[in-house]
Structure 1
């Protein structure tokens, strides 16, 4: 992987981490304040789900950072990469479930049914992203196997 690509990706990941931290510190308290007219349980659930969704994003960014670092060191085709890929899959699945939970919270409210449907579709699409990463993981398994075989030959 080219050095410019690595630096650019790390910059994007750093910005996304900083942005998500800013949302956690600045925006979530504002959402909490804006929801003062709603039921306390709904308010707690909504802000908690949003906070956990941000944590999922942060976990994915950190794991991708580690995978990029492994790629830079030409070590991505190793068994050590699997724990990061598996963590990414788990975080994306968790984000899909959390997105569906937000949609479910919106069902009994005054939100338009189309909006709820869009949020459910976003949950489904997020689950689809997890499946894409599962496919990429299987490709990584094959690449590691091939590299191991090549190392034995050489």
Structure 2
């Protein structure tokens, strides 16, 4: 990964982290105030909607931290090691958790007349899309596993070659 690309990725990660911190510090309290004006028939949605929002932001933050650590490993040349799997696995878990939160939002909004059925269907589709991202990251994890295995094999063959020479 080139120096400029790595710098750009880190800049994006910092901006996203700042954005999620802003959402937690400013937007969630404002959202809570706005939800106080809900129709009394839908007041039961207030706490679950706030909880889903906070948990969703946390899933994004966990992913950002793990991607930062992986970029650091790339910079140091240690990404092809077993330590990288820990971060990739956490990213997969966070993305799956985010998908479950999206599905939970759909289930929460489905009963009653709070939102149209088409909107619930769109939310379900978004959940499927987020699960798709988790599957893509899982496929990339499998590629990382193959690369680590090749690296170990190359190191072993180099050691044998060094003994022969």
TM more than 0.5: yes
Displacement of 1:110 after TM fit? 2.4
Corresponding residue for residue 138 of structure 2: 134
Corresponding residue for residue 161 of structure 2: none
Corresponding residue for residue 100 of structure 2: 97
* 2:34 is the alignment partner of 1:34: yes
CA distance in 2, matches of 1:21, 1:40: 27
CA distance in 1, matches of 2:109, 2:43: 15
Given the two structures, how large is their TM-score scaled by the length of structure 2? 0.90
Between stretches 130-139 and 109-118, larger displacement belongs to 109-118
Alignment of 1:67-146 (within 5 A): 67-108=70-111, 109-146=113-150
Displacement of 1:40 after TM fit? 4.5
Corresponding residue for residue 16 of structure 2: 16
Corresponding residue for residue 152 of structure 1: 156
SS in 2 for 1:68: helix
SS in 1 for 2:81: coil
Runs of 4+ in 1 over 4 A off after TM superposition: none
Q: How many positions carry a matched residue from both structures? A: 154
Displacement of 1:43 after TM fit? 0.6
Displacement of 1:82 after TM fit? 0.3
CA distance in 2, matches of 1:140, 1:134: 10
Unaligned runs of 5+ in 2: 159-165
CA distance in 1, matches of 2:7, 2:69: 13
- RMSD after superposition: 1.0
SS in 2 for 1:132: helix
